[in-house]
Structure 1
Amino acid sequence: MNPLFYLAENNLLRRRRRRRQRRMEWINEIYMKREEFGEFHHLMDDLKENPTKFFEYFRMSLETFKYILEHVKSDLTKYNNFRRVISPEERLTVTLRYLATGSSFRSIGFSFRMANNTVAGIVHEICRAIWENLGEIHMKFPSNEEALQITDNFWKRWKFPNCIGCIDGKHIRIKAPANSGSMFYNYNHFFSIVLQGIAGPDFRFIAIEVGAYGKESDGGIFSNSRLSKRLENGSLNAASERQLPGTNVFLPHVLIADEAYPLKTYLMCPYPERSLGPEEEYYNRRLSLARQVVECAFGIMTSKWRLLTKSMEIHLQKADIIIQCICLLHNIVIDRKGYTFEH
C-alpha cells in the first residue's frame, strides 16, 4: 500500500473520531433524551385534543398557533447531517412558553431538554421571524383612508370625536446594562426601556416604538420619535379637519394622551386639575374614558404574556425584537378571534 495513501486514510479516520467525540461533548446526556422526556413530545398531542388547555398553555387557540406556524415555517426549517434538528413546531412552542411564562432560559431548557443557549437562540430567531413575516399583515401603519374608519369606530364605541388613536408609554423591566449609568433608571426606581404604543378602539396596537431610555419622559420620547415626524407630515389625517358629529364645527383629527404629553393640534391632553370648571371636568371625563383603551391594551397584553411582568435578562437589541413580537402577537390573537368588552 502506498505510504502516503495509508497516512491520509489514518488522518481522515482520526478527524472523524475527533468530530464524533466533539458531537458527544456538545450533547449532554439529558438533552439526548429530548424526544423521550421533553415537554413538547409529552404534551403537544394531548393539548391538541383539549382546546381549553391548549389555550391556557399557549395563550392562543390551536388555529392561531397553526396560522403563525404556517407563516414562519419556511424560515425555521433546519438541516444537519450530524444531529437531529428541532422542528419549527417545537421551536415555536418553546418561544411561546417563554413569552407566556417569563421563565428563565435555563428553566425552559430543563423542561424541553435543551441547552439554555439553544433556547435563547430559538426565542430570538422565532420572534424575528414572526415580526418579519406577519408585521405588515397585523400591524401595518394605517393609510389616511383606514384612519377614517378608526375615527368612526372611536366615536361609535367610546363617544370621542375625531380620535385617531390613544398613545401612552409602558416601562419594560430589564437587567441593568453594563456601563449604562442612570440612562435606563426610571422614576419608579428600576431599570427599563420604554414601549410607546398607539391603540385603536378595539385594543389593537396601530403603531409601536421600542427602545427609549427608561429615564426619559413620555413627552420627550414622543417628540423624538419617528411617529411624531410622521404626524407632523400629515399621517393618520393629522393635518386635516373633520366635522364634529351633529354640528357644523370642523376640528382636526387627534391622538389623545395623558398630561405627560405635549399639547399639539393633533394631540389632545386633559385640562390641569388646578383650574377645572364644569365643562373642563366633563371634557376630562370623556377623554379619560376613551384613553383607557391604550391602558387596557397594555393590561391585556401583560396579563397574557407574563414575560412583561419580569425583568428581561437579555441584550437590549434582542429585548427590542421580543417586545415587538409580543405586541404583534397581541394583535394577531385579536385579529383571529376578536374581542369582547368583558375581556
Structure 2
Amino acid sequence: MEIFLRGLFSEIVERVTPYIEKKVTFWRKSIEPGLRVAITLCFLAVGDSYKSLQYSFQVAHNTISCIVPETCRTIIAAYRDEELQMPQTPEAWQEVAQGFEEWWNFPHVTGGIDGKHISLRNPPRGGTHYFNYKKFYSMVLLAIADASYKFLYVNVGAIGSESDGGVFAQT
C-alpha cells in the first residue's frame, strides 16, 4: 500500500508541476511542487489549520493559504475528465448497479450519496445564508460515489442554510 501511495503522490506531482511550479527569483526561492502538493494533501486529509501546518512544513501560514486553493484547483483540472465521470448511458448505469450488488449485496443501487458541511468564515454580506442548523457557517459539499468509492459526481458551493433536499434539487 505504501508503494502505491508513493507512486500516486509522484503521479500527482508530475501532472501538476507545469501549472504550480514557480520561478526562483533574486528575492526568493520558490516552494517546490512536491512540497506544495504535500501541504495540500495533508490539509485535505487531516483538516489542520494553516497555522498548524506552518510548523509541520516550515512554510508561513499566509503562504499556505495561497498554496492550498491554487493546488486544489490544479489537481481538479488535471484529473476532472478521467476521474469524475458520471455514467452517460443505461449500460454504464447498469455497470455501477452491478458493482453495488456484487460488492455490497445492494441490488438496484446506482450510487451512494452524502453531503458534508465545510466550515468557513461568513463571507462579506453573507448574512445568515451560510449559517447552518449545526450552528456554524458552512458551504455544502455533495458527492455521489460508486461501489468502489470512486466519485461519479461532486457539487461544492451550496449555502450552509439550505436543506439536503434543496441542495440535491439544484444539482
The TM-score, its normalising length taken from structure 1, stands at: 0.45
Query: 1:317: which partner in 2?
Result: none
Indicate how the Cα distance of structure 1 residues 201 and 92 shifts in structure 2: closer, same or farther if over 3 A, else same: same
Query: 1:176: which partner in 2?
Result: 122
The answer (yes or no) to whether the contact 1:168–1:218 under 8 Å persists in 2 is: no
Q: Does structure 1 residue 220 correspond to structure 2 residue 163?
A: no
Query: 1:190: which partner in 2?
Result: 136
For residues 40-79 of structure 1, the aligned pairs below 5 Å read 61-79=5-23
Q: Does structure 1 residue 94 correspond to structure 2 residue 32?
A: no
Query: 2:87: which partner in 1?
Result: 142
SS of 2:111's partner is strand
Instruction: Tell me the number of residue pairs that the alignment of Structure 1 and Structure 2 aligns.
Output: 169
SS of 1:193's partner is strand
Shift in Å, 1:150: 0.4
Q: Does structure 1 residue 106 correspond to structure 2 residue 51?
A: yes
Q: Which amino acid aligns with 2:20?
A: L
Unaligned runs of 5+ in 2: none
Structure ID, larger Rg: 1
How far apart in 2 are the matches of 1:68 and 1:183?
Answer: 36
How far apart in 2 are the matches of 1:159 and 1:106?
Answer: 44
Query: 1:156: which partner in 2?
Result: 102
The percentage of aligned residue pairs carrying the same residue is 37
CA offsets per residue over residues 279-319 of structure 1, 9 Å max, x none?
A: xxxxxxxxxxxxxxxxxxxxxxxxxxxxxxxxxxxxxxxxx
Unaligned runs of 5+ in 1: 1-50, 226-343
The TM-score, its normalising length taken from structure 2, stands at: 0.86
User: CA-atom RMSD, angstroms?
Assistant: 2.2
How far apart in 2 are the matches of 1:99 and 1:63?
Answer: 19
How far apart in 1 are the matches of 2:52 and 2:103?
Answer: 43
Indicate how the Cα distance of structure 1 residues 153 and 176 shifts in structure 2: closer, same or farther if over 3 A, else same: same
How far apart in 2 are the matches of 1:81 and 1:172?
Answer: 36
SS of 1:122's partner is helix
Q: Which amino acid aligns with 1:212?
A: A
The answer (yes or no) to whether the contact 1:196–1:209 under 8 Å persists in 2 is: yes
SS of 2:115's partner is strand
Structure with the larger RCO, 1 or 2 (CA within 8 Å, 6+ apart) = 1
Query: 1:202: which partner in 2?
Result: 148
Q: Which amino acid aligns with 1:95?
A: T
Indicate how the Cα distance of structure 1 residues 110 and 155 shifts in structure 2: closer, same or farther if over 3 A, else same: closer
When you count helix as a share of all residues, which structure comes out higher?
1
The answer (yes or no) to whether the contact 2:130–2:138 under 8 Å persists in 1 is: yes
How far apart in 2 are the matches of 1:72 and 1:224?
Answer: 31
Give the alignment partner of residue 123 of structure 1, picking from 60, 65, 68: 68
**More displaced 10-residue stretch of structure 1: 69-78 or 175-184:** 175-184
SS of 1:154's partner is helix
Shift in Å, 1:62: 0.9
